Amino acid sequence: MSQFSLEGVFNEYLKTDPIFFNKQALTISYTPSNIPHRERQIKQLGIILATALRGERPSNSFIYGSTGTGKTLVTQHVCNALEEKSKQLNKNLKILYVNCKMKRVSDTEYRLLAYLCEINKLEVPKTGLATEQIYKYFFDSISNYDGVLIIILDEIDELVSKVGDTILYNLTRINQDFKKCKLSIIGISNNLSFSNEMDARVKSSLSEEELIFPPYNAVQLTDILKHRAEISINKGRIEDGVIEKCSALSAQEHGDARRALDLLRVAGELAERKNKNKITEEDVDVAQSKIDRDRINDAIKTQPKQSKLILYTIISYFEKDDDENQNLLTGDVYDKYISLCKKIKQKYITQRRLSDIISELDMLGIINAKIISKGRYGRTREISLAIPLSTAFRIKKSINQDLEI
């Protein structure tokens, strides 16, 4: 067996001329000192929250905008500044930030409250208590707090779709029940039509102020990327057109700045690994497919066994390149899925459940499931793959290894 030397790998790496000098600046966790093209929103939110500096309750606000439009960044930026200022003025201000999408942290009423307790420095069990009890703990913890409390609920649409709006209703009641604590809620949502899904009372008390974050266009994205590249990538290491390409690709995807930053970062990493002098447009292309692949792989890894089996069934169907070109319908998937389960001696689920799983796979962007009506022959979903065949085959292979089909 040939002995390969890690020492060699490390030395080789250290010999290369690094492309980045501060890669952190190209990640979402980085908060830049200035946020281009969001001046209006920063000012608007600043005006709303400034009332906290006089010890008054800021209006509840709702922030809308699709992914990567700077909602979270702007909110955190304004809140940080507010916190700083309130310290100078010796005012009581507490800001609790929760990302409602984080699995196992805040995707249920109980977990959200437990998390709020936790970041409010109150220890509660992660599970085991009645939800009422956890409400009591949280309310007790803030009932005597004399000051302004701002709760930021990021991805609030996820929360409401999973657990309903009861929790929001209960939170908005705090101001009536407690005299000292002045609570303001900032809801951040990717879904523009989301507020229509809420109870009218919750909606009216939550949306006292509304801010809209429009998607960035390609020119604005270029601007943002140039600014970030300056503080993260060594001079002269980006080929002309790379930043523009990242911007253009991301502008197509609803003006998502996060995506643009990821593209540039991953392209840089790829170029660095190949020991290239400059990041090229070709690296951006490779980065694009790598990001898609990683996203899908991560999504599939966390899926339950039955989801994997169903996805396996669907991919197997498209693998056969017979010229029938027939559409795959829910009923077909179910039949094929049942025979697969019988073949490998697995328990199988009902069609009702399968229907839900197909919806989930659709939402994950792995398949397209369009509802169609075939008139006399019923109403069903037409299923196709939303990912390249090559990626699908790779996924199938990994499910195969995982489940030993």
Partner DNA sequence: AGTCCACAGGAAGGGCAGGCGA
Partner DNA sequence: TCGCCTGCCCTTCCTGTGGACT
Interacting residues with DNA (CB under 7 A): 103-104, 107-111, 125-131, 304-307, 329-332, 334, 348-353, 355-359, 369, 371, 373-381
- 238 three-state secondary structure: strand
CA atoms in the 13 A half-sphere facing the CB of 123: 0
| Structure-token pair, residue 102 | 């984080």
- Distance of closest approach, residue 103 Cβ to DNA, in angstroms: 6
Q: For the chain, what's the residue count?
A: 405
Query: Which residues on neighbouring strands pair with residue 233, listed in sequence order?
Result: 20
Q: What is the 3-state secondary structure (H, E, C) of 82-104?
A: HHHHHHHCCCCEEEEEEECCCCC
Q: Which is nearer to DNA, 183 or 358 (by Cβ)?
A: 358
Token readout for 394 is 């790779």
Supply the minimum distance, in Å, between the C-beta of residue 353 and DNA.
Answer: 3
Q: How far is the CB of 227 from DNA (least distance, A)?
A: 38
Report the amino acid identity of residue 381: R
Nearer to DNA, 282 or 332 (CB): 332
Q: Give the H/E segment covering residue 221.
A: helix 218-230
Q: How many CB atoms lie within 10 A of CB 22?
A: 12
Residue closer to DNA (CB basis): 282 or 362: 362
In this structure, are strands 209-212 and 328-329 parallel, antiparallel, or unpaired?
unpaired
The token pair at 108 is: 């249920």
For residues 98 and 257, which CB has a smaller minimum distance to DNA in the complex?
98
In this structure, are residues 44 and 192 in contact, taking their beta carbons and an 8 Å threshold?
Answer: no
Yes or no: say if 75 and 257 are a contact pair by the CB < 8 Å rule: no
> Cβ of residue 361: shortest distance to DNA, in angstroms?
12
For the bound state, the minimum distance from the C-beta of residue 65 to DNA, rounded and expressed in Å, comes to 25
Instruction: State the Cα–Cα distance between residues 227 and 225, nearest whole angstrom.
Output: 5
Please say which residue, 101 or 258, places its beta carbon nearer to DNA: 101
State which residue, 59 or 99, has the beta carbon closest to DNA. 99
For residue 372, the one-letter residue type is I
Smallest distance, Å, CB 362 to DNA? 8
Residue 4: name the closest of 295, 379, 12 by CA: 12
CB of 141 to DNA, least distance (A): 16
Residue (247 or 380) nearer to DNA, CB: 380
**How near is the Cβ of 399 to DNA at its closest, in Å?**
14
Contact 316, 396 (CB under 8 A): yes
The contacts of residue 361 (CB under 8 Å, 6+ apart) are 307, 310, 311, 314, 367, 369
Q: Can you tell me which residue has the tokens 């879904």?
A: 191
In terms of CB distance, is 50 or 341 closer to DNA?
341
Q: Tell me whether residue 379 or residue 397 sits nearer to DNA (CB atom).
A: 379
Least Å from the CB of residue 86 to DNA: 33
